[in-house]
């Protein structure tokens, strides 16, 4: 019984490793995506172009402007001297925002009779970026107010926020993204390996040959699932390794809690992959099916947009998405150091998804045995 | 352009020292080496040769789809490399699998190809009518191309190719998988085109009886042209070397096994009620194999056929590999056991609205070679898949060694061996890895496994290739490997689905020799084939047509039915055509 499964495993691995295309699927995209996403995808603002329209031209106003231009978030690419220049600068997307200081800025600042007005004209077409940029500007302004009050012995602002990020102390979005990539790439690779496995054999006619041998359907299923499990776990380990040693993510929690999650996640994804595979007649269909699953699974996982922001119905839909649970686990272990007990609420849904999809795959695959 | 003595413009096709190489995996294959040939206008030329002889390559070069590494090819004086566009105006090329759009109707397919060839709307209707009439498809114009039988598809493909009224028609194995009736129709269309339009036809074929109908035959082997001449010339070459032999005690199968591969004997095949023997020289009786048994042998000379010459020429290049028959084991055949091992009882199979198999019933006894014959789409493969448990029947019962393989425990499957039409081993794995996998699949272990693998490597001459990827092997070797994988666990019943499809006559002989040996050792063999002449190798057979049994019985019984005064020695193909026609006139 087990020696036959071992024979199936050897065959499966040889088929994957010797086939140029599947070898590439395993090695190429994960590395490329890891670096592209790891470096490319970020929520942090970096060198956002802004224009300065300073009508005041005093030491105070120049000091104020400098706080903006010296920040790494912004870079001054344009200096405006007339009102007419404002409209084209924003329309043509030359800059994201314009900082406008009126002629009375320093006078108001020194006399203190009324608040000095610094006007921000911001391009709201990309609302997400605009909001983040405003957020930065607010904090620059708050810091300016505080420093100004201290220097001129004025009354300090009556209240102020003091923020300390509990996890991810520097609020680096790379930590958030790279930890998500662990889930994303494990999902993509595992599903491709399994979704193509039966379809490939069907396409090449070897599946019939397999079905007339004394293998039981259970053995064939195990023979198809185990390579996926092994490859998925290895793939996840590689990305975890890269996350810790290349992207320098802190690994706060326990490796055991993480690996329990990896194992259950890969298990549930294999079920989905084999279900797709048992429905597909050709590799092309298998690939198509895989992507039909992968894209919504990523969008509805909380990888980029929080599940809490989604409409009620869609939130309910995410409950059947294995990636949703795994992202909680991986971020929980990496950034929060959550122990396995706390993550139990994430483990069991994965286990259930795995059992249901694998039995579904087994059922479909028996039914399609013709 | 060519240094041929004839003026270039009268030659429909001229090849001058053409070479073409391909790289398959790690090996370089010389598809054509230094081939020169010329085809005169309005002639029919047949390309014959084993697999990998370069037939398809030659046709694709002539069609301007490939470019030769060196040498020149021209069609009516136009160079196939530099003047591709004008060559395309002159030729019609039908590949092995013609690109019919299966989801379009017959009429829509014709319209599409008319558009592609730029046939004007005015001419179109007239041409459609002619072609539909000629192919007998007129009443099917509304039918989807995917729903046509193999023969009808092929005729439609030919019709689409003829739409542009090419002057040179290139056909790549036009009659593979087509039933004899459709095959005859295809030929009459081709001959009609040659006679009325002066068309030139170059076709490749695996059927040597077809090649006999050509004006000239080009024999290719491993990229070399062996000879080009008229069929009559080849037959003359063999004059006095073809015999028919019968033995008083031995069955034809035993006689054949005894004779084939012996020195002095080029070929021995069962034909009708005797064994056809081709000798190396004109005195067959001098051969030692004959002297041994000559007292009980009756021998008469017979007129040679093209296949004899073909085999004789190829044997000079490829000496017989299978001389391993253990002759001491040949004894008078034990009577066939009447133990039923395969039972098919009123089996139906529907695919949606289409009934692929209609109330089929037959039984197979232990140790028989049982044939399932018929053209593509006759229901052979469906029946076959139901027997192996790969497909459930819609109605009725199938039993193999007393169990339904679909429901039976996995263990029951260890008693059968299966080899399918398509090469269905793991092509990324080496020969040895495939053998390792399948031996483990059948639960062979340790010493026993090692022994079985050694047996398979030796028996099937795979030792040299054992570390090569099986996907890179030539077709004949792939087939040997598939058979080795199906036989390692010594099955009681062997299922062979179209094992000889697309395989050349030499490899087919080798295959049937092995099968005969297996049957002699008590293995039951169920085999499907669309080569009617292969029926001769079966103990009993059924011929299927449209999911129904056309006729069942021993080869002799079936031919008996159509024997008349004009046709004293009908072939299986004659029998098929007559029976189909008789059935159609009844309907």
A214-264 tens-digit pLDDT = 888 888 888 989 999 999 999 999 999 988 898 888 888 888 899 999 999
Nearest residue to B510 via CA among B269, B255, B221, B210: B269
**Chain B residues lying within 8 Å of A204, measured CB to CB:** 422, 424, 426-427
Every domain of chain B and the residues it spans:
8-229, 234-329
Say if A231 falls within a structural domain.
yes
Alpha-carbon torsion (B482, B484, B485, B486), positive or negative? positive
Structure confidence at residue A55 (pLDDT): 87
Distance CA B62, CA B72 (A): 10
Is residue B154 within 8 A of residue B182, CB to CB? The reply is: yes
A62 and A20 inside one domain: no
Is A214 close to B427, i.e. CB distance below 8 A? Answer: no
The count of domains in chain A is 2
Say what percent of chain A tops pLDDT 70: 96
Three-state SS across B322-373?
CCCCCHHHCCCCCCCCCCEEEEEEEEEEEECCEEEEEEEEEEEECCCEEEEE
Higher-pLDDT residue of B28 and A194 is: A194
DSSP B403: B
Nearest residue to B441 via CA among A220, A215, A212: A215
The mean pLDDT value for A160-165 works out to 74
A140 and A207 inside one domain: no
Query: By CB neighbour count within 10 A (0-12 exposed, 13-18 middle, 19+ buried), where does B49 fall?
Result: buried
Domain that holds residue A95: 48-151
DSSP B470: G
A26 and A75 inside one domain: no
B569-573 long-range contacts, Cβ below 8 Å, gap at least 24?
B569/B272, B571/B272, B571/B532, B571/B533, B572/B373, B572/B532, B572/B533, B572/B535, B572/B536, B573/B180, B573/B209, B573/B532, B573/B533
Structure confidence at residue B4 (pLDDT): 44
Q: Identify the H or E element spanning B507.
A: helix B505-520
Binning chain B into helix, strand and coil, the percentages to the nearest 5 are 40, 25, 35
Domain B8-229 CATH (choose: 3.60.20.10, 3.60.15.10, 3.40.50.300, 3.20.20.10): 3.40.50.300
Which of A209, A366, A368 to mutate: most B Cβ within 10 Å?
A209
Say if A167 falls within a structural domain.
no
A181 and A311 inside one domain: yes
Distance CA A353, CA A368 (A): 22
Q: Which two tokens stand for residue B120?
A: 């004007």
A350 and A208 inside one domain: yes
The mean pLDDT value for A101-115 works out to 83
Which class is B234-329 in CATH?
Answer: alpha beta
A268 and A192 inside one domain: yes
A133 and A226 inside one domain: no
Written as one string, the DSSP assignment of A25-93 is HHHHHHHHHHHIIIII---S--SEEEEEEESS-SHHHHHHHHHHHTSTTEEEEEE--SGGGHHHHHHTT
Return the CA Rg of chain B: 25
Domain at A146, CATH number: 3.40.1710.10
- Which residue carries 């590999």 as its tokens? B321
Q: Which of A105, A120, A151 is the last residue of a domain?
A: A151
Say if A26 falls within a structural domain.
yes
Residue B460: partners with Cβ closer than 8 Å, 6 or more residues away: B480, B481, B483, B484
| pTM of the complete model | 0.75
Distance CA A288, CA A180 (A): 23
A108 and A195 inside one domain: no
A35 and A56 inside one domain: no
Nearest residue to A183 via CA among A346, A20, A43: A346
What interhelical angle do A2-18 and A20-35 show, nearest 10? 70
DSSP A166: S
A120 and A90 inside one domain: yes
pLDDT tens digits in sequence order for chain B, 587 residues long = 444 444 545 788 999 999 998 876 667 778 888 899 999 988 999 998 877 788 889 999 998 888 889 988 988 888 888 888 888 888 999 988 777 888 888 989 999 988 888 888 888 888 888 888 888 888 888 888 877 777 788 889 999 998 888 999 999 988 877 778 888 888 999 999 899 888 999 999 878 888 888 999 999 988 889 889 999 998 888 888 888 888 877 777 778 777 777 777 888 887 777 888 888 776 666 666 666 666 777 888 888 888 888 888 888 877 655 444 444 344 444 555 678 888 888 888 888 777 888 888 999 988 889 999 887 777 888 888 888 888 888 888 888 888 877 777 677 788 888 888 777 788 888 899 999 999 988 888 888 889 888 888 888 888 888 888 888 777 778 888 888 888 888 888 999 888 877 677 777 888 888 888 888 888 899 998 878 878 888 889 998 888 888 888 988 888 888 888 787 778 888 888 888 888 877 76
What interhelical angle do A173-204 and A20-35 show, nearest 10? 170
The mean pLDDT value for A303-310 works out to 83
Alpha-carbon torsion (A340, A341, A342, A348), positive or negative? positive
Q: Is the ipTM of this complex over 0.85?
A: no
Is B427 close to A204, i.e. CB distance below 8 A? Answer: yes
Q: Tell me whether A4 touches chain B (CB under 8 Å).
A: yes
Which of B425, B428, B469 to mutate: most A Cβ within 10 Å?
B428
Give the B-side interface with A, CB within 8 Å. Answer: 385, 388-392, 405-406, 410-411, 413-414, 416, 418, 420, 422-429, 433, 436-438, 440-443, 445, 469, 485, 495
The most confident of the ranges A282-286, A303-307, B201-205, B208-212 is: B201-205
Distance CA A326, CA A336 (A): 14
Collapsing DSSP to helix, strand or coil, B416 comes out as strand
Q: Identify the H or E element spanning A293.
A: helix A283-299
Structure confidence at residue B502 (pLDDT): 67
φ, ψ (nearest 5 deg) of residue A118? -110, 120
Taking only the tens place, the pLDDT of each residue in A18-73 is 877 778 877 888 888 888 888 877 767 778 888 998 888 888 888 888 888 888 88
**Chain A residues lying within 8 Å of B423, measured CB to CB:** 205
A202 and A311 inside one domain: yes
Is A209 close to B420, i.e. CB distance below 8 A? Answer: yes
Is A7 close to B441, i.e. CB distance below 8 A? Answer: yes
Q: In what order do the strands lie in the sheet with B297-301?
A: B265-271, B274-279, B242-247, B297-301
Is residue A156 within 8 A of residue A146, CB to CB? The reply is: yes
Cross-chain CB nearest to B418 (options A7, A14, A209): A209
Nearest residue to B166 via CA among B61, B60, B94, B68: B94
Nearest residue to B278 via CA among B251, B225, B316, B247: B316
Say what percent of chain A tops pLDDT 90: 19
Is residue A52 within 8 A of residue A76, CB to CB? The reply is: yes
Neighbouring C-alpha atoms within 13 Å toward the C-beta of A113? 5
Say if A165 falls within a structural domain.
no
Cross-chain CB nearest to A18 (options B418, B428, B440): B428
A106 and A190 inside one domain: no
Is residue A322 within 8 A of residue A350, CB to CB? The reply is: yes
> β-strand B395-400 against B548-553: which pairing, if any?
unpaired
Structure confidence at residue B1 (pLDDT): 40
Collapsing DSSP to helix, strand or coil, A16 comes out as helix
Distance CA B84, CA A141 (A): 74
Q: In what order do the strands lie in the sheet with B354-365?
A: B354-365, B340-351, B395-400
């Amino acid at each position: 019984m087990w020696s036959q499964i071992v024979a199936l495993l050897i065959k499966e691995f040889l088929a994957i490793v010797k086939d140029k295309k599947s070898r590439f699927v395993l090695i190429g995209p994960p590395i490329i995506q890891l670096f592209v996403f790891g470096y490319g995808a970020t929520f942090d603002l970096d060198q956002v172009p802004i224009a300065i329209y300073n009508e005041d031209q005093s030491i105070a106003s120049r000091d104020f402007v400098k706080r903006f231009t010296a920040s790494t978030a912004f870079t001054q690419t344009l200096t405006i001297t007339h009102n007419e220049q404002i409209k084209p600068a924003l329309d043509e997307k030359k800059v994201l925002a314009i900082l406008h200081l009126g002629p009375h800025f320093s006078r108001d600042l020194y006399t203190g009779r009324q608040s000095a007005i610094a006007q921000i004209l911001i391009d709201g077409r990309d609302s997400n970026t605009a909001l983040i940029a405003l957020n930065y500007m607010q904090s620059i302004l708050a810091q300016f107010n505080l420093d100004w009050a201290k220097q001129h012995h004025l009354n300090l602002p009556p209240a102020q926020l003091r923020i300390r990020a509990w996890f991810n102390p520097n609020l680096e979005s790379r930590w958030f993204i790279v930890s998500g990539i662990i889930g994303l790439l494990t999902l993509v690779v595992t599903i491709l390996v399994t979704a193509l496995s039966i379809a490939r054999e069907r396409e090449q006619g070897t599946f019939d040959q397999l079905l007339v041998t004394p293998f039981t359907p259970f053995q064939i299923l195990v023979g198809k699932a185990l390579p996926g499990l092994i490859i998925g776990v290895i793939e996840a380990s590689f990305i975890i390794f890269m996350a810790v040693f290349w992207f320098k993510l802190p690994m706060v929690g326990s490796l055991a809690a993480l690996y329990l999650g990896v194992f259950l996640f890969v298990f549930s994804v294999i079920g989905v992959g084999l279900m797709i595979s048992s429905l597909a007649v050709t590799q092309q269909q298998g690939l198509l099916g895989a992507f039909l699953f992968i894209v919504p699974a990523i969008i509805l996982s909380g990888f980029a947009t929080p599940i809490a922001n989604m409409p009620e119905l869609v939130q309910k839909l995410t409950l059947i998405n294995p990636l949703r649970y795994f992202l909680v686990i991986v971020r929980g272990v990496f950034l929060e150091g959550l122990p396995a007990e706390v993550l139990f609420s994430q483990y069991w849904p994965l286990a259930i998804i795995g059992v249901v999809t694998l039995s579904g795959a087994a059922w479909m695959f028996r039914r399609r045995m013709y | 352009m060519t240094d041929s003595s004839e003026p270039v413009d009268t030659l429909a096709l001229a090849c001058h020292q053409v070479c073409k190489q391909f790289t398959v995996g790690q090996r370089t294959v010389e598809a054509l080496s230094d081939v020169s040939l010329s085809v005169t206008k309005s002639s029919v030329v047949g390309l014959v040769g084993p697999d990998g002889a370069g037939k398809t390559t030659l046709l694709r070069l002539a069609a301007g789809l490939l470019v030769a590494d060196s040498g020149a090819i021209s069609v009516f004086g136009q160079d196939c490399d530099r003047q591709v566009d004008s060559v395309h105006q002159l030729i019609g090329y039908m590949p092995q699998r013609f690109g019919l759009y299966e989801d379009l109707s017959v009429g829509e397919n014709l319209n599409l190809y008319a558009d592609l060839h730029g046939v004007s709307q005015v001419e179109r209707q007239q041409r459609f009518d002619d072609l539909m009439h000629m192919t007998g498809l007129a009443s099917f114009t509304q039918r989807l191309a995917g729903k046509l039988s193999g023969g009808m598809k092929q005729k439609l493909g030919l019709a689409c190719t003829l739409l542009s009224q090419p002057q040179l028609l290139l056909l790549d194995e036009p009659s593979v998988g087509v039933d004899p009736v459709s095959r005859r129709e295809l030929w009459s269309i081709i001959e009609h085109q040659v006679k009325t339009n002066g068309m030139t036809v170059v076709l490749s074929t695996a059927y040597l009886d077809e090649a006999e109908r050509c004006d000239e035959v080009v024999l290719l082997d491993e990229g070399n042209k062996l000879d080009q001449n008229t069929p009559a010339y080849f037959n003359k070459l063999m004059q006095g070397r073809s015999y028919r032999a019968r033995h008083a005690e031995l069955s034809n199968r035993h006689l054949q096994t005894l004779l084939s591969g012996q020195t002095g004997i080029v070929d021995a095949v069962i034909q009708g009620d005797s064994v056809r023997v081709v000798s190396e020289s004109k005195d067959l009786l001098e051969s030692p194999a004959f002297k041994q048994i000559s007292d009980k042998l009756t021998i008469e000379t017979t007129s040679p056929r093209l296949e004899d010459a073909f085999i004789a020429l190829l044997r000079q290049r490829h000496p017989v590999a299978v001389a391993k028959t253990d002759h001491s084991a040949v004894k008078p055949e034990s009577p066939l056991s009447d133990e039923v091992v395969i039972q098919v009882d009123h089996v139906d199979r529907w695919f949606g609205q289409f009934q692929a198999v209609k109330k089929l019933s037959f039984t197979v006894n232990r140790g028989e070679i049982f044939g399932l014959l018929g053209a593509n789409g006759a229901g052979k493969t469906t029946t076959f898949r139901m027997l192996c448990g790969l497909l459930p029947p819609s109605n009725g019962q199938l039993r193999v060694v007393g169990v339904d393989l679909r429901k039976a425990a996995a263990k029951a499957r260890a008693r059968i061996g299966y080899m399918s039409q398509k090469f269905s081993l793991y092509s990324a794995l080496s020969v040895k890895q495939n053998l390792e996998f399948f031996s483990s699949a059948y639960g062979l272990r340790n010493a026993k496994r090692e022994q079985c693998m050694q047996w398979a490597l030796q028996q099937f001459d795979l030792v040299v290739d054992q570390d090569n990827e099986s996907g890179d092997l030539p077709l004949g070797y792939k087939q040997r490997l598939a058979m080795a994988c199906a036989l390692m666990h010594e099955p009681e019943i062997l299922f062979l689905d179209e094992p000889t499809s697309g395989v050349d006559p030499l490899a087919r002989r080798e295959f049937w020799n092995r099968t005969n040996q297996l049957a002699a050792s008590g293995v039951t063999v169920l085999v499907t084939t669309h080569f009617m002449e292969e029926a001769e190798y079966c103990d009993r057979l059924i011929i299927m047509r449209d999911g129904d049994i056309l006729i069942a019985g021993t080869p002799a019984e079936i031919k008996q039915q159509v024997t008349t005064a004009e046709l004293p020695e009908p072939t299986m193909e004659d029998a098929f055509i007559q029976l189909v026609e008789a059935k159609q006139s009844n309907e």
